[in-house]
Amino acid sequence: MKKLLLIVFGVPLLLVIFGAMFGDNEPKVDRERVADQQRQAAAEAKRRAAAALEACTSDRAGILAKHAELVAAGKRWEAARSISRCADHLKDAELLAMVKQDEIAAWTSDARSTNKSTTERLDAIDKLERHYPEAAKALQSDKRRLVALRERAEKQAERQRLAEAKKRGVTIGMTQQQVIESSWGRPESVNRTTTAHGVREQWVYGSGNYLYFEDGVLTAIQN
């Protein structure tokens, strides 16, 4: 009887003990591995930041000389990028002010460049308004003029689209608006039938021409 009790209760107990000792070992190893990887990544990031800081500090004169060269060449975006990292690392007020001046000059130049599209010029003004609203005030007249140009271009494009549509006939699947914009234009009269299944229309044109719609979609052409 004692042997039976030992087998019944002893074996499960041993399994529980061994499980407690070894069962959670693998997750623990995984957690330690992840933690170690995180420590290594943090250390590497810290090392790189220190190296960048050292480079900015030790070669400040060279960085400023390169920046001046780019500004003189009219390359304000490149000039801003050449010092922006050091400005951020050092929290250097002088460098940060130079980055600001470069970005304002670059966006202003883009906004007034005749080599840029109207959309690109308006985009430059929009960015200037978001980042440096005070500087953007000087470009408000330019913005109004560019918006007017864009609206005229959009209207012209719409007129061209309608003109092209007028040259085309009709095809099955067109909407009623597309038919009106086509060479068929508006009908002389419309016969409409409403049923439980939807709305059917017969558009009547001259010379025995008819178009048939179901729920606003062209389904048949008779001519």
Beta strand 189-195 with 198-204 is: antiparallel
Looking at residue 8, its pLDDT comes to 45
CA distance 150 to 148: 5
Give the domain 168-222 fold: Beta-lactamase Inhibitory Protein; Chain:B, domain 1 (3.30.1450)
CA distance 4 to 11: 11
Looking at residue 27, its pLDDT comes to 67
pLDDT along the chain (223 residues), means of 10: 47 55 62 84 80 80 92 94 89 92 96 95 96 95 96 92 79 94 92 93 92 96 90
- The structure's pTM equals 0.57
CA distance 204 to 195: 20
